[in-house]
Structure 1
């Protein structure tokens, strides 16, 4: 793609996904990785639109036993649709660290997560994320 240092931008997008994982339980840092109008569909199909709603939803989750449900993301593909917009496909692995959680408490232990990311003020941010459980 013209006008893009593909290697540097790919590395930057990979860092963004790694930071999302690293800061999933640090509300302020996690929110800083999203755009103001972010739209997230989580692992159980709940849609959250806008950073303010994401803040309230994530805060409530982190104050509950859901704080012990964590995930990782293994990037499979990054496609730049414009120099400042990319689509990221990754496999999400979910770990349920809650005590006494039934084995079927989550719809699956892994899923596909698709991020749409955009470069804002020289930093990559999440515009949209959609997770689809992989049914085994």
Structure 2
């Protein structure tokens, strides 16, 4: 497990990302949308684009209503400050389908969050979720899957997923 970063803003950006994935895991379209700036952007795994809190919520709601989504497991690779009020977080993520206890390698992703600080609150200006396909480089896909499985072992997500949560 990683320790709490010394920089309180870095910790807040990490918590913002964690809250984003938690809102997904809880199938809360509104919860996810509220983490964005009013004019924030979200680029989905399939390339779909949603702009602004309202559109993001409207885009996610039918996804959550139509089927039980898989649960995210992730690992933050970097939090980099582009200015005192703008940060970029890079992470890798895998998904554990409901009722299962292992990640589904076909949907591993590289995730990027650009966060902005307004007063004392950090909000997401951009979230991009890109497939980690690694075309022609299967060893990279395998390495990422192995790394995410190690993260899964450190969490209790696999236990919750196998119970249908």
TM-align CA RMSD: 2.1
Aligned match of 1:124: 122
Alignment of 1:55-74 (within 5 A): 55-65=57-67, 67-74=68-75
Aligned match of 1:46: 48
The offset of 1:90, in angstroms, is: 0.2
Aligned match of 2:11: 11
Higher relative contact order (CA 8 A, sep 6+): 1
Q: How many residues align?
A: 124
Aligned match of 2:34: 32
In terms of fraction of residues, the more helix-rich structure is 2
The offset of 1:31, in angstroms, is: 1.9
Aligned match of 1:21: 21
Q: Contact between 2:94 and 2:105, CA under 8 Å: does it hold in 1?
A: no
Q: Contact between 2:34 and 2:53, CA under 8 Å: does it hold in 1?
A: no
In terms of fraction of residues, the more strand-rich structure is 1
Distance in 2, matches of 1:121 and 1:28, equals: 22
Distance in 1, matches of 2:88 and 2:15, equals: 14
Aligned match of 1:94: 95
Structure 2: stretches of 5+ with no match in the other structure: 1-5, 134-140, 142-165
Tell me the SS of whatever aligns to 1:23. helix
List per-residue Cα deviations over 1:82-126 (Å, max 9, x = no partner). Answer: 101001100011233389xxxxxx892311111100012311111
Distance in 2, matches of 1:23 and 1:118, equals: 19
Q: Normalising by structure 2, report the TM-score.
A: 0.68
